[in-house]
Structure 1
Amino acid sequence: MSKPATVNVLYPRKDGSTFDLKYYLDTHMPMVYKHWNSHGLKSFKVTQYGEGPYTMNCSMEWDSVDAFKTAGTLACATEIFGDISNFSTEQPVIIGGEVVGTS
């Protein structure tokens, strides 16, 4: 049986970089959820960091790591990843793995 997974999408903080939070919350994330919800995306939350190496993080809960990997190969993934330039000047760092403990 597959374990649930968490995938974090981190947007780097660099001199001169920009991030359009309104577009991200109003347009990008609803599109992501619409396309991937039926493929194992259970929920997401967005965190804005005031300092550190990243400005934003989107933490997504998935049915499994395999569900996330499969979603990334769907035709809609091209639209989702292609939309990044509409809100961020930086490409994200994507990390994820199986959930092995919760409280």
Structure 2
Amino acid sequence: MRRSMLSEWHQKILQITHLSTDALSIYLGLILFFFVAFCHHRQLKSHYAIWSAVVVAVGLELFNARHDILDRGYWRIGQSLQHILNVLLLPLILWLMARYRVWKG
């Protein structure tokens, strides 16, 4: 029953925003990264911001893997890695650019 409620919320969010699942994952990673970076004093160079994005990306995929195994009988590892990459790609690029001072002013 929990799975169906979460699936319904996911589908409603996709319908409201008119985004694909991949785009929603990308925006989720960016929003989380910016929120934690805003709250932390080091901002975009914050280790907390990038690690929070990593923990959420891996946690969501472990949750989805659990349901894949229970519903399908196997884990779609390739699709899980793609979702983790979608969540982490832009926050990681921004963090690396801030860390290695690409934007010198």
Which structure shows the bigger proportion of residues in helix conformation? 2
Give the TM-score normalised by structure 2.
0.29
TM-score, normalization: structure 1?
0.30
**Structure richer in strand, relative to its length:** 1
**Rg (Cα) greater in structure:** 2
